[in-house]
Structure 1
């Protein structure tokens, strides 16, 4: 049996930032593709390679749309993308990763600081973006075949 995942929420029903919502922690409101959304940090964490070094994945180059990137990654066989989608979540984009860092700096969420986290935004055939949550460094110099942490997120449309 598949679990039903909340897809949208009324603005009046949003909790304060840092509070539980739909199985995660409400991070912030943001705009994506002309739609206001609520970003949630999920409790799951795992590790793996972004994908195959040297293979450019069409559709995984968005700086802002982590869900679209993650779906493109999964279609190309990325195991971390497949796992995130199975959780009803996705790998954050560069923008979404930076929003997580703001929430961490504001004391609203806890993120591991002892390693790099993959983001879903592809830089090139050889590399993708990653973020260090100790200090908020955004990096694109790591090879896609390296294994890093993944902290999935979910995004709800705000009505």
Structure 2
């Protein structure tokens, strides 16, 4: 896994939303597992399948922790999850996808509207959540469909 230099950020050093941070654009502050964090959207675009249809990945069911979901996906053999982790990033969770949509609606970030995006949260053994950033549609569909991923980083705020 490639390591980026920045592993956390001081609250006083946070830029305005949409400005550069940790190799991407700062999206927003949010709370995850009792810790305030900074969500960063990378410019990279990955395309691939979420995983195998019919395979339940118990560690990929968090609605909020995209990093944990992505690690579980990678351990189960998901190529797109491995690619995200190689960027020292992860596939956004259900919550992180909603935060990205809110930032897009606020004009803070730009996201493609012509493709549906995988999220890292598994819905069932047969499907996972995805998001349409044109209108903010959130749904679930079969895991073995090829979709776009915009990786994110989540940095602890000190």
Which range, TM-score by smaller chain? Answer: over 0.9
The TM-score normalised by the length of structure 2 is 0.98
Question: Which residues of structure 1 form unaligned runs of 5+?
Answer: none
The TM-score normalised by the length of structure 1 is 0.97
The 3-state SS of whatever aligns with 1:26 is strand
Which residue is equivalent to 1:117? 117
Question: Which residues of structure 2 form unaligned runs of 5+?
Answer: none
The 3-state SS of whatever aligns with 1:139 is strand
Q: CA deviation at 1:10?
A: 0.6
The 3-state SS of whatever aligns with 2:97 is helix
Which residue is equivalent to 2:63? 63
- Please list every run of at least 4 consecutive aligned residues from structure 1 whose deviation after the TM superposition is greater than 4 angstroms: none
Which residue is equivalent to 1:157? 156
Aligned pair count reads 158
The 3-state SS of whatever aligns with 1:48 is strand
The 3-state SS of whatever aligns with 1:107 is coil
Q: Distance in 2 between matches of 1:52 and 1:10?
A: 39
Q: CA deviation at 1:46?
A: 1.6
Deviations 1:20-39 (A, max 9, x none): 00100000000000000000
Q: CA RMSD in A?
A: 1.1
Q: Distance in 1 between matches of 2:98 and 2:68?
A: 17
Q: CA deviation at 1:4?
A: 3.5
